[in-house]
Structure 1
Amino acid sequence: MRLLVANDDGIDAKGIYTLVKELEKVHEVIVVAPNNQRSACGHSITITSPIIIKACKLEGIKSKAYSISGTPADCVRMGLDMLSEGKVDMVVSGINRGLNVGTDVIYSGTVSAAMEAAIYEVPSLAVSQETNGDEEQYEVAAKYALKVLEMLKDKPLGEDVVLNLNVPLCSEEEIKGLKVCKVGKTSYRHSYFEYVDEKGRGYNVRGTMNEKKFEEDDVDYIREKYVTLTPLHFDLTNFQLLKAVEDIVR
């Protein structure tokens, strides 16, 4: 397959390097990633300033690579519209440094890059790896991404499908299996730490996930050391309430 690989951690991130290294063993790959860290930027796009594109060389990577001064969604747009030579079969976004489970998918630049592909009617896979402080490893997640692509090769799900893959921080031997599951509902307790510098007073924000009951979702299964795979879509319509709202306004 011809793959476009993007991310939100930037062109120099370990995750995208490991992912491309694995995927290009089997597939044709082009890399388009932000020139710096763009985590948690959601589905933002650049409209008020020019987007700068630079060809770059990733050491040990044979695939063509470009950095752009834009967001993850911009990367997919420009990759599909300008930089890929011919039809792209699938967009792969990641490997993100940190999970994208539960309601975190709303804020995720990694997932948003995959969503942008779906808007273009190109199927996509978002890949995220659990980390713990400075402890991070991406080889297992890259292998699972390749496995999922091989599964989809002969059984496509549709042009506007986004699959969200999350991998726990453990050895490949410790992983209990792959679970196809729903998105969980997560909430956080936020702490605000004040600081003052020459620019003025500001706050650093840290969030701690609240406890939740076991509901067989991506949050729960990651804790049980399963790799999770969740189908997503950009249609945010609440179909359960569609008729009720229609009756109210009629």
Structure 2
Amino acid sequence: MEILVTNDDGILAEGIKVIAKKLVEMGHKITIAAPNVENSGKSHAITFKTPLVVQNLKLEGLEEVEAIRVFGTPADCVRAAVHLCKKRFDFCFSGINSGYNAATNVLYSGTVSAAIEANLFNIRSLAVSSSYVNGQVNYESAAQIAMDLFEKIKDIKINQVYNLNVPYLPYDGIKGIKVAKVGRDVMSIYDITSEGNEYNLQLKGFPKQFNGDRDSDIYYLNQGYATVSPLIYDSTNKKSIESLKEIID
């Protein structure tokens, strides 16, 4: 397959190299398009008031792979690849992200937004994220789980976005992959310091008490499962359309 690989941690991040090498080993043709620097939390921002700068790059260990460094956001990277690389991509991998993109983090994640951007160009996509624990990420374990999932979904012809999260466990310690809904938990724990009239808020993570949805991604991740959630980018509340029409019309 012709596969686009992108991320939000930057083109030199370990996670993107691990997933790219795994795909090459499986015999896929890949193209890498990733930001010049980390773009975590940039969501679906794009560059449009200034030119988007793109450079060709050779990555160590992946010298034979076409790679471009994009001085923009994760969504920009997908746009650059679609417009500059003379290929029709069959699939897009975004990641492996350092840290979960579960629950409401999907709204802020550059990793997830890159996958969604690919889907807007009719490219099926998979966002891959792995738990960050004490400064460590088990990229190899996450990559193998991603390959297991990819083998199951690669022939599905529906233009779909999949969001995969993998706990910080060895591959054989992961209980399996659960299909889960996106949780409602919000990453909202801050360390707050102050000096004079200035406050510094450092975002740390999720509250210890979760909303309790037992079929959510956060719930299953805490039980030692990897989770996959099918995402849509249509933000229309279809249930409210008719009732709103009755009020407005």
Name the structure 2 match of 1:74: 76
The count of aligned residue pairs is 244
Say whether 1:174 aligns with 2:173: yes
Indicate the residue corresponding to 1:21 in structure 2. Answer: 21
Unaligned runs of 5+ in 2: none
Q: Evaluate the alpha carbon distance shift between residue 215 and residue 242 of structure 1 in structure 2; reply closer, same or farther with a 3 A threshold.
A: farther
Aligned to 1:43: 44
C-alpha deviation, 1:149, in angstroms: 2.1
DSSP-derived class of the 1:57 partner: strand
> 1:142: which partner in 2?
143
Residue 132 of structure 2: aligned partner: 131
Aligned to 1:237: 236
Matching residue of 1:59: 60
Aligned match for 2:203, one of 196, 199, 206: 206
Deviation at 1:144, TM superposition (A): 1.8
Task: Please state how far the C-alpha of 1:195 moved relative to its aligned partner.
Answer: 5.5
Q: TM-score by structure 1 length?
A: 0.92
Identical pairs, percent: 37
Q: Which residue of 2 is the match for residue 220 of structure 1?
A: 219
Following superposition, the deviation at residue 142 of structure 1 comes to 1.0
8 A contact 1:7–1:95 mirrored in 2: yes
How much does 1:128 deviate? 0.4
Q: Does 1:105 align with 2:120?
A: no
Deviation, 1:29, is 0.4
How far off is 1:186 after superposition? 0.8
Aligned partners of 2:201 and 2:115: how far apart in 1?
A: 29
Residues 186-244 of structure 1: CA deviation (Å, up to 9, x unaligned):
12233432358xxx956242244221224211010011111101000110112222222
1:7 aligns with 2:4: no
CA RMSD of aligned residues (A): 1.7
Deviates more, 1:232-241 or 1:185-194: 185-194
Task: List, as ranges, runs of 4+ consecutive aligned residues in structure 1 with deviation greater than 3 Å.
Answer: none
Is the alpha carbon distance of 1:214 and 1:235 closer, same or farther for their aligned partners in structure 2, counting shifts above 3 Å?
closer
Mapped contact 1:8–1:34 kept (Cα < 8 A): yes
Question: What is the TM-score normalised by the length of structure 2?
Answer: 0.92
